[in-house]
Amino acid sequence: MKRVTEIAPGIHYVGANDRTKHRFEGLWPLPHGVSYNAYIIDDEKIALVDTIDSAFTGRLLGEVREVIGGRPVDYLIINHMEPDHSASIHAVRKTWPDVTIVGNAKTLQMVEGFYGISSTNTLTVGDGDTLSLGARTLQFHLIPMVHWPETMVTYEKTEQILFSGDAFGTFGTLDGAVVDEDMNVDKYWDEMVRYYANIVGKYGNPVQKALQKLSPLTIKMICSTHGPVWKKHIPQVIDIYDKLSRYENLDEGVVLVYGSMYGNTELMAETVAQGLAEGGVKNIVIHNVSKSHPSVILRDIFKYKGLIIGSPTYCNELYPEIDSLIRKIELRDVKNRIFGYFGSFTWAGAAVKRLNAFAENMKWDTVDIVVEEKQGLKPDNYALCLELGRKTAQKMK
Ligand SMILES: Cc1cc2nc3c(=O)[nH]c(=O)nc-3n(C[C@H](O)[C@H](O)[C@H](O)COP(=O)(O)O)c2cc1C
Ligand SMILES: [Fe+2]
Ligand SMILES: [Fe+2]
């Protein structure tokens, strides 16, 4: 059964779709699945670029054999050691015992640490080093902390293809086609932002360094380890990664996140949203923190410039899900946001104090109207909630 896809002369996609896993990294829901991508470069020497998740090892080996028949894999290039890509290394070694494992010093240390494969038949490469496969030459560029310390990319000079690892990746399976020009890619954009915000989001500076480092290369195709092979949409994909890593918004609008047990804080949120709308904000994205998954909330926080958070006081603290969310925002060091906040309590308020400390810590441009209500929402604070919305809208202009 022939299902291998030749994406460029002599270069084949040999990945798999995961339509079963519930949560990537045990954390991030996969409503549209995810693909693990690997590639075969067929030359005098044969190179396999990355492997795939252990659940699909058999499929990987089968697909590689369909391309190369009885010839052996000569090189296994490892761009990234996270196990969604490295878990089939052992099987590749077992199937083609003479394969040379190619990685930088940090990679090879991890190969030994995770899989007990030591220095026999390995090749350590440094930044800018090249490897000839015969007619083609590969060049390696280290891009540390995108999003692990060992991450690197491999550039194939003849076809000008960048094998980018997780960089430029996205959630979402490949539903038939592999290259972007052969499919409708609309379904991937939101998932790309969710992938970036949650997995790479903390590493804006390393991503910026990587983009600068790779900018001299002429790139005709980006072969990432998740999602479509990018050919037609390369500028758009680079622009998304560039903006997100500079913590620049992709769209105009405000995300309003609130927690509420009995509806009092929720009513404040609805009122703030009304004020935003009155102020002219067209994109208002409201998340009940107990209903929307944090990965979706984080996606939208990365997407929009405005953020408003509301929380009741809970055991002298923030509402637990809000507390957990702001921890995730701090962890990713999200920059350059316009921020507003409000809260509620019944006997001694703590939520607003906590949100105030959070705002100071983030060094954001914070709206100077803060609403704190004791028990039910009353006319004064109703008016102030509207004003918080309107003032935020004004700042957005
Ligand atoms: C489990 C629980 C813990 C709470 N802890 C506090 C508290 O420590 N201090 C306080 O002033 N109010 C506390 N409250 C009261 C809420 O903050 C207050 O009723 C608020 O208006 C609830 O907002 P909501 O209707 O949006 O859920 C608590 C309420 C609950 C249910
Ligand atoms: Fe990764
Ligand atoms: Fe990955």
In ligand 1, the atom with minimum distance to the C-alpha of 317 is: 8
- Using CA atoms, how far residue 42 sits from 9, 73, 74, 326, in Å, is 9, 9, 10, 48
- Nearest Cα residue to atom 18 of ligand 1: 345
Q: What is the largest CA-CA distance in the chain?
A: 79
- Residue 314, ligand 1, Cβ within 6 A: yes
- Residue 33, ligand 1, Cβ within 6 A: no
In ligand 1, the atom with minimum distance to the C-alpha of 345 is: 17
On whether the CB atoms of residues 174 and 227 are closer than 8 A, the answer is: yes
Ligand positioned closest to the Cα atom of 38: 3
Structural tokens at position 324: 């957990």
- Residue 126, ligand 1, Cβ within 6 A: no
In ligand 1, the atom with minimum distance to the C-alpha of 349 is: 11
- Residue 265, ligand 1, Cβ within 6 A: yes
- Nearest Cα residue to atom 2 of ligand 1: 314
Quote the ligand 2 centre to 14 CA distance (angstroms).
18
Rounded to an integer, what is the distance from CA 233 to the centroid of its chain?
Answer: 18
List pLDDT tens digits, range 12-59: 999 999 999 999 999 999 999 999 999 999 999 999 999 999 999 999
| Nearest by Cα to 84 from 121, 56, 126 | 56
The single-letter code of the amino acid at 199 is I
- Residue 331, ligand 1, Cβ within 6 A: no
**Alpha-carbon gap, residue 142 to 136, rounded angstroms:** 20
**Alpha-carbon gap, residue 16 to 2, rounded angstroms:** 14
How many other CB atoms are there within 10 angstroms of residue 133's CB atom?
19
- Residue 311, ligand 1, Cβ within 6 A: no
**Alpha-carbon gap, residue 304 to 284, rounded angstroms:** 10
- Residue 378, ligand 1, Cβ within 6 A: no
Dihedral sign, CA of 352, 354, 355, 360?
Answer: positive
- Residue 349, ligand 1, Cβ within 6 A: yes
Quote the ligand 2 centre to 150 CA distance (angstroms).
10
Give the pLDDT of residue 75.
98
0.85 surpassed by pTM: yes
Q: Which residue has the tokens 């903006």?
A: 243
Phi–psi pair at 165, nearest 5 degrees: 65, -145
Which residues lie across from 344 on neighbouring strands? 312, 373
- Residue 264, ligand 1, Cβ within 6 A: yes
- Do the strands 75-77 and 284-288 form a parallel or antiparallel pair, or are they unpaired? unpaired
Please list the pLDDT of the chain residue by residue as tens digits (397 residues).
Answer: 556 689 999 999 999 999 999 999 999 999 999 999 999 999 999 999 999 999 999 999 999 999 999 999 999 999 999 999 999 999 999 999 999 999 999 999 999 999 999 878 999 999 999 999 999 999 999 999 999 999 999 999 999 999 999 999 999 999 999 999 999 999 999 999 999 999 999 999 999 999 999 999 999 999 999 999 999 999 999 999 999 999 999 999 999 999 999 999 999 999 999 999 999 999 999 999 999 999 999 999 999 999 999 999 999 999 999 999 999 999 999 999 999 999 999 999 999 999 999 999 999 999 999 999 999 999 999 999 999 999 999 999 9
Give the pLDDT of residue 3.
64
Task: Return contacts of 121-125, CB within 8 angstroms, 24+ apart.
Answer: 123/75, 125/152
How many other CB atoms are there within 10 angstroms of residue 23's CB atom?
11
